[in-house]
């Protein structure tokens, strides 16, 4: 009983950490080579809001952006549904609500054949609670600081609660997969045993018939 309580507390503590980490937005900066595709993946839950923005970094701040520094972008779901598409752009942004859970991908491609150097792309992708701009909420609604903090805490608790159900569903799926795998392995083991016994019996019968034919036994 003590061990189970300790395990439950550890899981809740981990979920709290995940809840705090989910509000942190991270910006990515990566190099994109000519003719190559770079994909960024984000695990998004059902009905979660997700926003993103991207821009090509100017290689020389003292000069205008070169005309050949453009990218093609596709943002799609696990099932291949396209949520954002842009061709030959220097920057862009997208926002949508996830219909299905899973790994969503944002793929960037540079296909300008006149391009001689790499393109540097800056990409910011936020989902869930981190997709909400609380500073704008405070400005638009004239919300007091305390009320804003309460709203943040309420949203965080809701996010953690949804994360718990999401992890529980994933755990049930893994358990069902393990049960199905164990059942198949059991049948495969039984079938292998039957085949081995059958082959062994045939070998004994063949040897016995051979020895009787040679009148050894």
* Tens digits of residue pLDDT in 128-141: 766 666 555 445 44
Task: Report pTM.
Answer: 0.52
Residue ranges per structural domain of the chain:
2-132
CATH topology of domain 2-132: Jelly Rolls (2.60.120)
**How many H helices and E strands in the chain?**
3, 8
Q: Stretch 41-59: mean pLDDT, rounded?
A: 88
- pLDDT mean across residues, the chain: 78
Q: Stretch 65-76: mean pLDDT, rounded?
A: 87
Task: Give 115's pLDDT tier (boundaries 50, 70, 90).
Answer: low
Buried b (16+ CB within 10 A) or exposed e, 77-115: beeeeebbebeeebebebebebeebeebebebbbebeeb
Q: Stretch 7-33: mean pLDDT, rounded?
A: 55
Task: Give 9's pLDDT tier (boundaries 50, 70, 90).
Answer: very low
pLDDT of residue 184: 92
pLDDT of residue 217: 63
Q: Using alpha carbons, list the distances in angstroms from residue 50 to 9, 130, 159, 179, 197.
A: 30, 8, 14, 34, 59
**DSSP character string of 136-182:** HHHHHHT--HHHHHHHHHHHHHHHHHHHHHHHHHHHHHHHHHHHHHH
pLDDT at 103 over 80: yes
Torsion angle of alpha carbons 158, 164, 169, 174, nearest 10°?
Answer: 150
pLDDT at 39 over 90: yes
pLDDT of residue 148: 67
Between 71-85, 127-141, 168-182, the lowest mean confidence (pLDDT) is in 127-141
Task: Give 35's pLDDT tier (boundaries 50, 70, 90).
Answer: confident
Any bridge partners for residue 51, and if so which? 95, 126
Q: Stretch 14-31: mean pLDDT, rounded?
A: 56
* Tens digits of residue pLDDT in 161-175: 888 888 888 899 999
């Amino acid at each position: 009983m003590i061990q189970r309580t300790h395990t439950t507390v550890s899981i809740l503590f981990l979920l709290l950490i995940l809840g705090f980490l989910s509000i942190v937005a991270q910006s990515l900066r990566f190099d994109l080579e000519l003719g190559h595709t770079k994909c960024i993946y984000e695990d998004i839950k059902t009905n979660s809001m997700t926003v993103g923005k991207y821009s090509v970094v100017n290689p020389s701040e003292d000069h205008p952006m070169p005309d050949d520094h453009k990218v093609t972008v596709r943002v799609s779901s696990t099932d291949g549904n396209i949520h954002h598409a842009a061709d030959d752009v220097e920057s862009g942004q997208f926002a949508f609500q996830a219909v299905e859970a899973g790994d969503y991908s944002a793929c960037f491609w540079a296909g300008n054949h006149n391009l001689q150097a790499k393109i540097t792309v800056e990409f910011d992708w936020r989902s869930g609670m981190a997709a909400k701009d609380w500073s704008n909420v405070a400005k638009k609604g004239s919300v007091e600081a305390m009320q804003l903090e309460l709203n943040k805490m309420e949203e965080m608790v809701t996010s953690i609660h949804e994360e718990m159900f999401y992890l529980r569903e994933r755990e049930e799926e893994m358990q069902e997969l393990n049960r199905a795998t164990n059942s198949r392995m059991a049948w495969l083991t039984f079938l292998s045993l039957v085949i081995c016994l059958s082959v062994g019996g045939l070998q004994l019968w063949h040897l016995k018939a051979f020895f009787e034919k040679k009148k050894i036994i």
